[in-house]
Amino acid sequence: MSTPSYSRNFEQDALPHLNNAYNLARWLTGNDQDAEDIVQEACLRAFKFYRGFRGGDARPWLLTIVRNVYYNSLQENPAGRMVEFDEDAVSVNRCFANPEEILIQNSSGALLRRAIETLPTRSREMLILRELDGMSYRQISNVVGVPTGTVMSRLSRARASLRQVLTDLMSAGPQTKATK
């Protein structure tokens, strides 16, 4: 199964999308360690079933696997493995640095991160796939497994929820979180 060309083709197709996979997993799980575990499991599954990949853009294919691994892990552990992310307790892993992480490092980015983290998982994934990963509605439809119209309506509701949460956080002011 793991012939040199098989491995080389997998690396060329899937590995360029590891940042996207980690980004989605990080937003779904809420912490780095679980995100890394999800991505690792997703990559193992992707490699195992690479022969079934029909070509084309591997990003939606890999993100579908990441998403499925995440939801399967929730079914296996209904209490969830999510914990609140404490940015001060862990160092940022630079191998996953991307524009989204850079945005989060500034103060308005921190506000945006807090707002996104309060959204339900399905709203978060819609926003992450569209706004941060830049996927088309059709690609998101393939990843999530729903019709394009459903993607559009879920995305619209997610954006409206995000606007409301941001408005609430901004009107609450600095007392919502003590600065360190």
Q: Work out whether the CA dihedral 14, 18, 22, 23 comes out positive or negative.
A: negative
Which residue do the tokens 């899937």 mark?
14
CATH of the domain at 48: 1.20.140.160
pLDDT at residue 8, as a whole number:
73
Quote the CA–CA distance of 120 and 118 in Å, as a whole number. 7
Quote the CA–CA distance of 96 and 132 in Å, as a whole number. 14
Task: State the DSSP H helix or E strand holding residue 70, giving kind and residue range, or none if neither.
Answer: helix 58-76
How many separate domains does the chain show? 1
The tens place of each residue's pLDDT in the chain, 180 residues long, gives 545 566 778 888 888 999 999 999 999 998 899 999 999 999 999 999 888 888 888 999 999 999 999 999 888 876 654 444 444 433 444 444 444 454 445 556 778 888 899 999 999 999 999 988 899 999 999 999 999 999 999 999 999 999 998 888 888 765 544 444
* CA distances from residue 59 to 10, 80, 177 in whole angstroms, order as listed: 12, 26, 36
Residue 35 lies in domain: 4-176
